[in-house]
Chain A
């Protein structure tokens, strides 16, 4: 059947493949290419109907049963994306479902559910399994559950998992009630990849290439000093440090943003940018960001499961900024123009090749790391759903983990998330063989102090702000963790 013919990688999938082609890591798409998420379910969950709903959701979304074939296996090698292809398997084999009893222990349900989520995420997953989709369900009490979904990142991004969970709850409710599910009609990811290959978006994208060539002309990337060079043969891996900013400061930061017509991202990115300025002295430089991707903006892809994530450079020139308010306004301009001109990174690298190559040269320096900053890829994180006698809400985390989702070894990735009640939650992924724990704690602390000082007094002078960060001994981990009001929960090593 022609619909079962393997189809080429999308531009976004191709980027993921290229990113890992030369980074020396194991695995074609990185050593642990998983997407994952957790949800708390309240109510009386029937595990057998949940199992059937899992089959239903895999039948509904082709991406959940898509396998990636290397060039040779797909009957071709070379060419775009190294000849890799998406092969959609017919519905049939069930996803792996494991049910765990988490009712024991003195820890609170919240603590148990977070520890469970971290444990599942740190596990090993065989991406050649069909479907490469796992559900781990933990019973905290008879009416309180934690569901963790894991999928293969290059075919299912993290935003997609929140769509999968939304559908899963409705499919479960339909099973319970013996009725037809009420779900929007969807287009499959193959249609997105095919749409891209028609070049239909190219005319519009072409109007943005000039912007990027100008914007990135003479640009360098922020190169953050690491604690030590990687040692060959030493264990490499990505840790994930999490911390929270209290609701008072979190709400104030979002409100301050609004007063300047800024999104939460812009205010938080401004504070991050000042933290990087204090550490590197680079006033005019690029920080990388990840976005939900140009494909995700299209209405006909709004409910589609697939890999849409995009990557692009945000160049912010802080030269001449006197105050924190100036920095936020500079960041606002930089973000709005970059978002407006966003194109898939593979196209950007082709059309502004010289500028991107220069950027990559400037940030691939020994003993330097490339910082990235993004908003949480789960846009529905505060949305509550109720159907079939269960309520569902995303499980937010503040507990660190020694082994988290991968980022490339030479990168540091910050992810900010709006928490319930106005808190702000952060996850920072860094390479364990290049950064010490103390440095990561110090960075979180510096960021928090910049945000607090800047939001508290937007007219605070930028030189004063950076000097105060430096005075605290940036990088030395001078133990002022609690002075900033930052709440951190240390990683639990379970063995």
Chain B
């Protein structure tokens, strides 16, 4: 599985949304603090992502925006 696919899997499982659900933002999908904390903890435990926090999810991204953010956080600083 490539990185965006792994991020998408975590997003969907934590927010409990089916794969074919229309694109929507974190809050539109019913995201709350615990959901944001789960997503960031799973990303850290499984993908070693430490550069994304609860506040990034509270900026209310959709999956595509959030994925870009996570991927960018893993790129070495220029």
Q: How many residues on chain A are close to B (CB under 8 Å)? A: 24
Evaluate contact between A263 and B60: CB separation under 8 angstroms.
no
Give bound CA distance, A335 to B55, whole Å. Answer: 10
Residues A244-303 near B (CB distance < 8 A) = 257-258, 261-265, 291-292, 296-300, 302
Contacts of B33 in A (CB 8 A): 263, 265, 291, 335, 339, 375
Evaluate contact between A261 and B59: CB separation under 8 angstroms.
yes
Contacts of A263 in B (CB 8 A): 27, 31-33, 58
B1 at the interface (CB under 8 A from A): no
Give bound CA distance, A23 to B45, whole Å. Answer: 38
Evaluate contact between A297 and B27: CB separation under 8 angstroms.
no
Evaluate contact between B58 and A261: CB separation under 8 angstroms.
yes
Taking a contact as CB atoms closer than 8 A, the residue among A262, A291, A300, A383 that contacts B34 in the complex is A291
Evaluate contact between B42 and A299: CB separation under 8 angstroms.
yes
A-B contact count (CB 8 A): 54
Give bound CA distance, A327 to B28, whole Å. Answer: 23
Contacts of A177 in B (CB 8 A): none
User: 15 A-B contacts, Cβ less than 8 Å apart?
Assistant: A261-B27, A263-B27, A263-B32, A265-B33, A291-B33, A291-B34, A297-B41, A298-B41, A298-B42, A335-B33, A339-B33, A339-B36, A340-B53, A340-B55, A375-B33
Interface centre among B27, B28, B33 (most CB of A within 10 A): B33
B2 at the interface (CB under 8 A from A): no
Give bound CA distance, A336 to B59, whole Å. Answer: 11
Evaluate contact between A336 and B54: CB separation under 8 angstroms.
yes
Determine how close the nearest CB of chain B comes to the CB of A389; give it in whole angstroms: 23
Contacts of B49 in A (CB 8 A): none
Taking a contact as CB atoms closer than 8 A, the residue among A299, A300, A336, A383 that contacts B55 in the complex is A336
Contacts of A375 in B (CB 8 A): 32-33
Give bound CA distance, A12 to B41, whole Å. Answer: 19
Determine how close the nearest CB of chain B comes to the CB of A50; give it in whole angstroms: 25
Q: How many residues on chain B are close to A (CB under 8 Å)? A: 20
Contacts of A292 in B (CB 8 A): 34
Evaluate contact between B34 and A296: CB separation under 8 angstroms.
yes
A379 at the interface (CB under 8 A from B): yes
Give bound CA distance, A340 to B39, whole Å. Answer: 12
Evaluate contact between B16 and A339: CB separation under 8 angstroms.
no
B19 at the interface (CB under 8 A from A): no
Q: Which B residues contact A (CB, under 8 angstroms)?
A: 16, 27-28, 31-34, 36-38, 41-42, 45-46, 53-55, 58-60
Evaluate contact between A297 and B58: CB separation under 8 angstroms.
no
Contacts of A379 in B (CB 8 A): 32, 34
Q: Which A residues contact B (CB, under 8 angstroms)?
A: 257-258, 261-265, 291-292, 296-300, 302, 332, 335-336, 339-340, 342, 375, 379, 383
Determine how close the nearest CB of chain A comes to the CB of B11; give it in whole angstroms: 13
User: Given that A265-B33, A383-B16 are known contacts, is A258 also in contact with B58, CB under 8 Å in the complex?
Assistant: no
Evaluate contact between B37 and A258: CB separation under 8 angstroms.
no
Evaluate contact between A339 and B54: CB separation under 8 angstroms.
yes
Taking a contact as CB atoms closer than 8 A, the residue among B16, B38, B41, B58 that contacts A336 in the complex is B58
User: Given that A261-B60, A339-B54 are known contacts, is A302 also in contact with B38, CB under 8 Å in the complex?
Assistant: yes
Evaluate contact between B38 and A299: CB separation under 8 angstroms.
yes
User: Given that A258-B60, A261-B59 are known contacts, is A299 also in contact with B45, CB under 8 Å in the complex?
Assistant: yes
> Other than the known A258-B28, A339-B37, A342-B37, what 12 A-B pairs have Cβ atoms closer than 8 Å?
A263-B32, A264-B32, A291-B33, A291-B34, A296-B34, A297-B34, A299-B42, A302-B38, A336-B58, A339-B36, A340-B53, A379-B32
Give bound CA distance, A300 to B45, whole Å. Answer: 10
Give bound CA distance, A298 to B59, whole Å. Answer: 22
Contacts of B58 in A (CB 8 A): 261-263, 332, 336
Contacts of A335 in B (CB 8 A): 33
Task: Please give me the residue from chain B that is nearest to A379 by CB atom.
Answer: B34
Determine how close the nearest CB of chain B comes to the CB of A316; give it in whole angstroms: 15
Determine how close the nearest CB of chain B comes to the CB of A447; give it in whole angstroms: 20
Determine how close the nearest CB of chain B comes to the CB of A374; give it in whole angstroms: 11
Q: Which 8 A-B pairs have the closest CB atoms?
A: A297-B41, A258-B27, A297-B37, A299-B42, A263-B32, A297-B38, A292-B34, A339-B33
